[in-house]
């Protein structure tokens, strides 16, 4: 799929390392990287090349990376850098896969958000895609368990992570996960949402609302020292817990399961599936109207919930 394609990663720490792993598995041999500084890029280049067979080219600046005229750029840098980086590459040949959230909309008006979305998705319809692994996770949930959506009256989405965000920034970071679950799970056009209560504290963001008369709770928590993330989706008080187990294989992916009661259902790694699917769409110009509509809806709903 990626044979003959040139690829770069902006933001090589954290989630950027996951992209390195997945690109290597997909057969990529050479990757351009851009870090916070050229010094850090060189350090990461040395470390990565010691640990793998990848050829890493460290870039000095965005201008340097742009000059390479790469086919695909993976944006894995902090959220507040996304929009500036996207705009840097909009008029180049490079296609962009961007880690969620697509951009930071905390201090933007609704009018400005709509203008940005229109510019990104209507002027450049096959240029950008947001990586949303919870779509793949939700797909696995629907396939592995018999769930009658019509009978669901209550949904709880709990996500506790080791993120470094506080207050409203927690919502900006984690709402794309919860909302992509909700949007993909129901896949309906008309959505009637009424917010009931909202709690915002240093490490906590929690909201209760109704979604087409379904009582919903999004419960988010981020602490930098948390050793293990918790993702639990409850449907009518029936719990579906994401379980990750270390895998000793060379690919260094965790084994993934969904636990319901005493049952463990094995699933494919959602992040791996999502990256692969999105890269394929970018390469083959297969970002369709539904993909664009989904991304725009997600941005609009995140803005609605954080106001």
For 289, counting Cβ atoms within 10 Å of its Cβ (0-12 exposed, 13-18 middle, 19+ buried), the class is exposed
What's the CATH number of domain 133-306, 2.60.40.10, 3.40.50.1820, 3.40.50.720, 3.30.360.10?
A: 3.30.360.10
Specify the length of the chain in residues.
307
Q: Domain ranges for the chain, please list them.
A: 7-99, 133-306
Mean pLDDT, consecutive 10-residue stretches, the chain (307 aa), reads 93 94 95 97 95 95 98 97 97 97 94 95 94 98 96 98 96 98 89 96 98 97 95 98 80 86 96 97 95 95 95
Specify the pTM: 0.95
Tokens of 124: 């450049």
Q: Could you give the strand order of the β-sheet that contains 255-260, starting from the edge strand earlier in sequence?
A: 193-200, 204-211, 214-222, 154-161, 230-235, 238-245, 255-260, 263-267
CATH number of 7-99: 3.40.50.720
* Cβ neighbourhood burial of 89 (10 Å; 0-12, 13-18, 19+): buried
Query: What pairs with residue 2 in β-bridges?
Result: none
Q: Counting Cβ atoms within 10 Å, is residue 295 exposed (0-12), middle (13-18) or buried (19+)?
A: buried
């Amino acid at each position: 799929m990626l044979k003959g394609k040139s690829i770069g990663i902006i933001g090589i720490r954290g989630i950027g390392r996951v992209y390195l792993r997945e690109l290597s598995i997909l057969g990529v041999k050479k990757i351009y990287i851009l870090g916070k500084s050229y010094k850090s890029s060189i350090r990461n280049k040395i470390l990565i090349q010691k640990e793998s067979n990848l050829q890493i080219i460290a870039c000095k600046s965005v201008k340097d990376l742009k000059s390479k005229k790469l086919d695909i750029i993976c944006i894995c840098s902090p959220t507040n850098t996304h929009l500036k980086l996207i705009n840097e590459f909009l008029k180049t040949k490079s296609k962009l896969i961007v880690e969620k959230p697509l951009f930071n909309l905390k201090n933007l008006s609704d009018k400005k958000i709509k203008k940005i979305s229109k510019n990104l998705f209507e002027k450049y319809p096959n240029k950008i895609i947001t990586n949303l692994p919870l779509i793949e996770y939700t797909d696995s949930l629907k396939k592995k368990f018999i769930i009658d959506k019509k009978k669901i009256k209550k949904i709880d989405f709990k996500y506790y992570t080791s993120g470094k965000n506080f207050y409203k920034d927690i919502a900006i970071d984690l709402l794309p996960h919860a909302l992509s679950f909700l949007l993909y799970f129901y896949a309906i056009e008309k959505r009637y949402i009424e917010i009931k209560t909202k709690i915002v504290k240093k490490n906590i963001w929690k909201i209760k609302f109704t979604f087409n008369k379904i009582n919903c709770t999004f419960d988010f928590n981020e602490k930098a020292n948390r050793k293990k993330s918790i993702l639990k989706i409850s449907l009518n008080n029936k719990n579906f817990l994401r379980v990750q187990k270390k895998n000793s294989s060379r690919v260094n992916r965790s084994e993934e399961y969904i636990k319901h009661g005493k049952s463990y259902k094995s699933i494919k790694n959602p992040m791996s599936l999502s990256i692969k699917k999105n890269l394929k769409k970018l390469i083959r110009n297969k970002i369709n109207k539904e993909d664009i509509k989904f991304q725009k809806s997600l941005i609009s709903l995140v803005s609605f919930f954080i106001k």
